[in-house]
Structure 1
Amino acid sequence: MGFMKKNDLNSSYWENRYKENDTGWDIGHISLPLKVYFDQLQDKSVKILVPGSGNSHEIEYLWKLGFKHIYAADIAKTPLTNLKTRLKDFPENQLLHTDFFKISDTFDVIIEQTFFCALHPSFRKAYVEQMTKLLKSKGKLVGLLFNFPLSETGPPFGGNKAEYSNLFRKDFNIKVLEPSINSIKQRLGNELFFIFEKKT
């Protein structure tokens, strides 16, 4: 894929990717690092957002575990429809067909899974600002970030541990930011698992 300008990565772009089944980021199931994290969560009343949720394997897993206050957000409609097809009883009002930067609710936990890397790098500071608005005090941003050199070609766009630390540490306590030890084979060595806690 060639150089992408930030305005190219719009709803039409992503909708076409789903309609053409050009979804190489979708591994078809929940990723093991997130499954392990979810399995240790005790409080099923927490309010969780998955932005750029795609086909929402994380949402499906959480729903089946008994988490009911979970929200899938995507700029493309097709993946949200796909989730509703799989989970007939999933509430319509928890399917957010919207731009991430227009969400105004607040959450206890936000899950990052191939969303940050899909945004043009020029949006990274805005991503952090929006996360601080969306998370409640001491709320957690948890997930995976790609660990390979930042590129002008993408998505995905890369990054590294030092860049991420510099980007987030002003507003978040960095609890964990380490190479993922249980990534899928294709991503092993190229992912960082992280837990960032909002400072205030």
Structure 2
Amino acid sequence: MTDWDGRWRAGETPWDKGEAAPPLLEALEDAENGPFLRSARVLVPGCGSGHDVRALARVGAEVTGLDLSAKAIEVARGIKSVGGESYVCANLFDWQSEPFDAVWEHTCFCAIDPSDRGDYAEAVAGLIRPGGRLIGVFYLDPKDPDGGPPHGARKEEIARHLEPWFTLERGSVPTRAFPSRVGREWLATFVRCDGDRRVAVD
């Protein structure tokens, strides 16, 4: 298991690009997800220093950033607040809260061990209200497919883990990305449902 707090304390955080994920900015301009997120209560798991959290708060969302690294949360809290954001140090797999309208996924799914992806799907489903959304950018193609993190995934695998609780609304390759991730990501929107549903992947 990766010692995320140790990595943060050592300053070994190459995944922290110093700004919000470009696909998030794309989602915020989307005709459907943009208005939804701007008025939503949003959870950002694996938030790190909070770049995505602040981008969401800046447009009006009520955002909670969650990270299991105490140092990451310390860094995030040390940056000037821009809106209604807050931060919690906890493990996604055993943290409980009132359901959120949405979860923004970026780097959490690809950071956990692939064997934990089913638990991730169940944990996230438990934190989103029925009709809410899991909107995320999933890393499909890491430079080192046999290493990790980040751990890559296929669209079909992502859908298979999420399908007991979510319906895929749409997915596409984001038009915006960090240079090293161009063509390697999938920007997808899943809708939380009440019962078991099948997800079709194009």
Give percent identity, aligned residues only: 26
- Quick one: which amino acid aligns to residue 78 of structure 1? K
When normalised by structure 1's length, the TM-score is 0.85
Aligned to 2:50: 56
Aligned to 2:176: 182
Distance across 2 between alignment mates of 1:176 and 1:89: 30
Which residue, out of 91, 108, 121, partners 1:99?
A: 91
1:59-106, CA deviations, whole angstroms, 9 ceiling, x for partnerless residues? Answer: 111222232x210100001221222221257779x3111111122111
SS across alignment from 2:35? coil
- Quick one: which amino acid aligns to residue 25 of structure 2? K
Aligned to 1:5: none
- Quick one: which amino acid aligns to residue 52 of structure 2? E
Aligned to 2:136: 143
Structure 1 stretch 150-159 or stretch 15-24: which is displaced more? 150-159
SS across alignment from 2:187? strand
Distance across 2 between alignment mates of 1:195 and 1:168: 11
Tell me, which stretches of 5 or more residues in structure 2 are unaligned?
A: 195-202
In 2, are the aligned partners of 1:33 and 1:183 still within 8 Å (CA)? yes
Aligned to 1:128: 121
Judging changes above 3 Å, is the alpha-carbon distance between structure 1 residues 36 and 181 closer, same or farther for their aligned structure 2 residues? closer
Distance across 2 between alignment mates of 1:120 and 1:152: 12
- Establish whether residue 87 from structure 1 lines up as the match of residue 80 from structure 2: yes
Aligned to 1:153: 147
Of structures 1 and 2, the one scoring higher in RCO (CA 8 A, sep 6+) is: 1
Which residue, out of 64, 74, 83, partners 2:67?
A: 74
Which residue, out of 160, 177, 188, partners 1:166?
A: 160
SS across alignment from 1:42? helix
The Cα of 1:170 is off from its aligned counterpart by 2.8
In 2, are the aligned partners of 1:32 and 1:182 still within 8 Å (CA)? yes
Moved over 3 A (4+): 88-92, 149-152
When normalised by structure 2's length, the TM-score is 0.85
Distance across 1 between alignment mates of 2:159 and 2:21: 23
Distance across 2 between alignment mates of 1:91 and 1:46: 11
SS across alignment from 2:20? coil
Judging changes above 3 Å, is the alpha-carbon distance between structure 1 residues 87 and 172 closer, same or farther for their aligned structure 2 residues? same
| RMSD between superposed Cα atoms in Å | 2.1
Which residue, out of 21, 30, 42, partners 1:31?
A: 21
Judging changes above 3 Å, is the alpha-carbon distance between structure 1 residues 125 and 87 closer, same or farther for their aligned structure 2 residues? same
Which residue, out of 175, 187, 195, partners 2:189?
A: 195
- Quick one: which amino acid aligns to residue 95 of structure 2? I
- Establish whether residue 19 from structure 1 lines up as the match of residue 9 from structure 2: yes
How many matched pairs?
188
